Amino acid sequence: MSLPEPPIAVLAELTHRCPLQCPYCSNPLELERAAGELDTEAWLRALEEIAELGALQIHFSGGEPTVRKDLETLVAAAAQAGLYGNLITSAVLLTEARVEALAEAGLDHVQISFQDTEAGNADRVGGYAGGHEKKLAAARWVRATGLPLTLNMVVHRQNLQHLPQMFELAIELDAHRIEIAHVQYYGWAYENRAALLPTRAQLEDSIAVIEAAGKTYPGLAIDYVVPDYYARRPKACMGGWGQRFFNITPTGRVLPCHAAETITGLSFDSLRDKSLREIWETSEAFQKFRGVDWMPEPCRSCERREVDWGGCRCQAFAITGDAAQTDPACELSPHHGVMAELAAEETAEAPPEFRYRRYANAPETAKLAQPPAAGREADADQPAS
């Protein structure tokens, strides 16, 4: 077995606590509890190990990473270890003083997620009254410190009508980059797919808007990927399973991608038990879909197999029940038609109500995996909105 190249980036999910309740949240249905979170010492050790492994970037994420009082300490340690530090935040808990403290600690970049440009709808989607105004203020504080800013716009059926205004907002806030990120349908988003999946007409309109924005705002970096349910080829999810990236959950489990726990039957090692190097190089979950040996046909003999690495394992599992299938987003997959049918069916009806991301809203199967007392305690972690 040859050793893998070092990872490029690591996503540190410091917590699953978050004051928002986005119905597309990428956190798992079984949210981890505050009581089980890694402490500061454990994260400091992890940051050292990440740098020793040769990774270049660390993304501090959650949940909402700013609920952690030790965030400045972790940011400073990452900077000292030579890691490029990016904060991925909903920004609703930030204050001007906190933004300045994070900049002083050595943070390199801030990415703020917005739910829409229209405050009423943004607050409805995020399930947090007043959130949009707070994000605007935080974005201005970020730019006042001189830190580069990315706006992360998660787009779907219920906000795509404001796509032109999203670009205007990025310019108004002096952002360097905007990510137009279509919802990825696993976990909470899978539960809410019928409420979120855009129509084909919306998709076509949005492509025209994005192309025009590229010409109108040449100084703004624009990231956009066609949503999987309308794609002809999959994206190279995470740059290939276990090849460029890993994710650490709040309690210390190490995953090849942030949604990997949606695949049942895989088990993940914890940094409490093993070094990150050992996990990266030898853990079973990382080996399982790394490279091309695991691939079925049509991927196995496809010329794109080392371009898109067969697409997303979590999506293959969500649609076919087998993570070792070709991603159905690929039109060569025997399951490709299912995605188009689902999209046509679900967008033909008015969108249903959101199932918000709350501990209490997890499906029964996910709740059964939690001890009942911990469930009550965890609900209290969620600040009132």
- What residue ranges bind ligand SF4 (CB under 6 A)? 18, 20-22, 25, 27, 62-64, 90, 113, 233-234, 298-299, 302, 304-305, 308, 310-311, 326-327, 330, 332, 357
Q: Is 185 left (phi over 0), alpha (psi -120 to 50) or beta?
A: beta
- Which residue has 């088990």 as its token pair? 267
Q: How far is the CB of 298 from ligand SF4 (least distance, A)?
A: 4
Is there a contact between 64 and 89 (Cβ–Cβ < 8 Å)? Answer: yes
Select from 166, 168, 229 the least CA-distant residue to 203: 229
Question: Which is nearer to ligand SF4, 6 or 298 (by Cβ)?
Answer: 298
Which of 153, 142, 145 shows the shortest CA–CA distance to 115? 153
CB of 90 to ligand SF4, least distance (A): 4
The torsion of the CA quartet 169, 174, 176, 178, rounded to 10 degrees, works out to -10
Give min distance, CB of 357 to ligand SF4, in A.
5
Closer Cβ to ligand SF4, 257 or 330, answer by number: 330
Taking the complex as a whole, the smallest distance from the CB of residue 7 to ligand SF4 amounts, in Å, to: 22
> Please, what is the minimum distance in Å from the beta carbon of residue 134 to ligand SF4?
12
- 149-155 and 109-114 beta bridge pairing: parallel
HSE value, Cβ hemisphere, 13 Å, CA-based, for 170: 30
- String of b and e for 119-146 (b: at least 16 CB within 10 Å)? bebbbbbbbbeebbebbbebbebbbebe
If the CB atoms of residues 35 and 307 are measured against ligand SF4, the closer one turns out to be 307
* Least spacing, CB of residue 109 vs ligand SF4, in Å: 17
Contact 17, 63 (CB under 8 A): yes
Cα gap 199→380, rounded to integer Å: 37
**Closer of 246 and 356 to ligand SF4 (Cβ):** 356
Nearest distance, CB of residue 92 and ligand SF4, angstroms: 8
In whole angstroms, how close is the CB of 71 to ligand SF4 at the nearest point?
15
Helix, strand, coil % over all residues of the chain, rounded to 5: 40, 10, 45
Name which of 59 and 279 has its Cβ closer to ligand SF4: 59
Of 234 and 242, the one with the shorter C-beta distance to ligand SF4 is 234
User: Which tokens go with 169?
Assistant: 């907002």
Token pair for residue 377? 């305690």
Q: Would you say 228 or 269 has its CB closer to ligand SF4?
A: 228
Measured from the CB atom, is 18 or 169 closer to ligand SF4? 18
